[in-house]
Chains A and B, each alone.
Chain A
């Protein structure tokens, strides 16, 4: 298929009337990739503090997620237990090796049976940690890896996501910069999942139905102060 590659690239250059080694074009591309300039950031994405937090909760709620905010990790564990109860789910939880989640005072909810690893077909509830989020549309950023396996976000019927209030960014761009700070320039983990609500479909007569293929419920647990 290298022939197809050469052919396509040469057709593109012919169509554009461009030279492959044209320095101006090349440097325009290199510059843009290195500097990744931002476009207009909506005013709402520039909110800070409590206003940002309120927007984040409001957007998630509008998109069908359940949201709680608690002050301490201890309360977080209590909320997880009571959410499972409210949803009539058994006290069982699948989660990854995320150190923040591992450090929660789980003894406060001794009856929750926790198992580590990827989601299995019988799992009904899972817990992940979002590395960051964008308040502008109530969007969580989940990163794949041992700490937070991807399947936890899609297979179980209830997906709970833990996020520290200070990890909530305003805009997508700000969230990308936080990810760059960890993974470096131009590199991403296998999956970055932007999640903004529970799974849904409107394919049948434009009627919105929850739980198409992914979780029927998304529970976002915000911990601490912004």
Chain B
């Protein structure tokens, strides 16, 4: 994993198609979010309230889960708890078998990615079809989504066209397929048949509401609704921290969610599903199940990463991250990429198998600044780095270097003398262009770029001079 992140990142930086596709992140998300935020004067107030709602829910999570579960039962649904991914997968397969499902449609769900649900369903002889357009393409390509809300942001439409021609080989080969409209129409046509034939539908949940026992999904395509409405069984898979107390609380969160995610004021469809169809209902599923997954969340609730559980999966931290913007989502090698993934993945997988992720940050702070629930992402990445350093007994070279630095840093006079000397030597080496092509111990940096030479005096010297001139 350690090596593979660095390799994948280097590979991503040199992939011209990916680099071109990633330009859409800024064009599509960053600008639209800012416009949406600016158009709602109450945004910052709502953001503080959203954060408070999430904190209140998390500190009373056991009680809200109990209340939620009672409400689901009252409306005729069933709640199933799963400690880990394996338990969750087994429950879903059992529920599909109980409803005799051979074909299952699926709405977009990151938790289902987290537990590797599709592979498990297929291995159990159940055909599963992703219905969100992006997820459909991802499934076709046997890939992972590269973004938590825009699964194929890494692709140009030419490669999607090639995938469609390969996967839909029975359609006429001369058909026109070079516009986004053509691709959408073809997917609509093919998936319509699946929606109508599926015996079970699986969706995720953006929120679970304790007051009413409802699960909430937000979509623009309407695929989640067809998935939740047409089959005879509706299975919701969600992690335990998705709870919110009331419809009013959900309303506050909805006001910041879409604006932070896609820059829409609200998504086209926001659906509250509560239990199975009622006796007089002419449509809707006759069975409704909710699978609640823990998978490390209850542990996080008690450690330094508890704030991460506030996350409402809008993807703003990905969209505003210079590292994500440079390498895309796949290089992270985990289900959750970007800053939120760099905090979450070590918890899910163990820091030993994800140590490069919290290290892949410049700590520029934009992720925290745009987070609609104010998660201190840079602080938490730093905490992971500390955990990692403390645990893994770092290499001798690294320890020696740090000890040397600490020795000097604790002796201001020595430190100043050394940094002054270093600045002078480096400036001499840098020459007229003031660029350093090679620096001892900094090969990792200079192998791909030059290091700018020091600009004049050291910080301490400049500071001292400024203080003197103030004193005059």
Residue positions of A touching B, CB distance < 8 A: 1, 4-5, 7-9, 11-18, 20, 25-26, 28-29, 32-33, 36-40, 42-43, 59, 63, 96, 117-118, 121, 136-137, 139, 144-146, 149-151, 153-155, 171-173, 176, 186-207, 209, 211-215
A28 to chain B: closest residue by CB: B60
Contact residue among B27, B151, B181 (Cβ-Cβ distance under 8 Å from A209):
B181
Residues of A near B418 (CB, < 8 A) are none
Shortest CB distance B78–A (Å):
10
- With A196-B268, A203-B151 known as contacts, the answer to whether A172 contacts B254 (CB < 8 A) is yes
A17 to chain B: closest residue by CB: B302
Shortest CB distance A5–B (Å):
4
Inter-subunit contact A190/B294 (CB<8 Å):
no
Contact residue among A12, A39, A196, A202 (Cβ-Cβ distance under 8 Å from B62):
A12
Inter-subunit contact A205/B156 (CB<8 Å):
yes
Q: How far is the CA of A121 from the CA of B282 in the complex (A)?
A: 15
- With A1-B80, A43-B41, A186-B212 known as contacts, the answer to whether A199 contacts B134 (CB < 8 A) is no
B75 CB within 8 Å of chain A: yes
Inter-subunit contact B63/A29 (CB<8 Å):
yes
Inter-subunit contact A14/B302 (CB<8 Å):
yes
Residues of A near B160 (CB, < 8 A) are 204
Residue positions of B touching A, CB distance < 8 A: 21, 24, 27-29, 40-42, 45-46, 49, 53, 56, 59-67, 71, 74-75, 80-83, 87, 91, 131-134, 137, 150-153, 155-157, 160, 180-181, 183-185, 187-188, 191-192, 195-196, 210-212, 214, 220-223, 225-226, 228-230, 240, 245-249, 251-252, 254-255, 262, 264-278, 280-284, 292, 294, 298-303, 306
Subset of 7 A-B contacts with CB under 8 Å: A9-B66, A37-B246, A63-B265, A146-B280, A190-B276, A196-B266, A206-B153
Q: How far is the CA of A60 from the CA of B230 in the complex (A)?
A: 27
Most chain B CB neighbours (cut-off 10 Å) among A63, A191, A198, A204: A204
Shortest CB distance A168–B (Å):
15
- With A154-B225, A193-B225 known as contacts, the answer to whether A212 contacts B133 (CB < 8 A) is yes
Residues of A near B301 (CB, < 8 A) are 11-12, 15-16
Most chain B CB neighbours (cut-off 10 Å) among A15, A20, A136, A190: A190
Shortest CB distance B278–A (Å):
6
Contact residue among B49, B180, B278, B294 (Cβ-Cβ distance under 8 Å from A8):
B294
Inter-subunit contact B262/A36 (CB<8 Å):
no
Contact residue among A17, A40, A136, A186 (Cβ-Cβ distance under 8 Å from B71):
A186
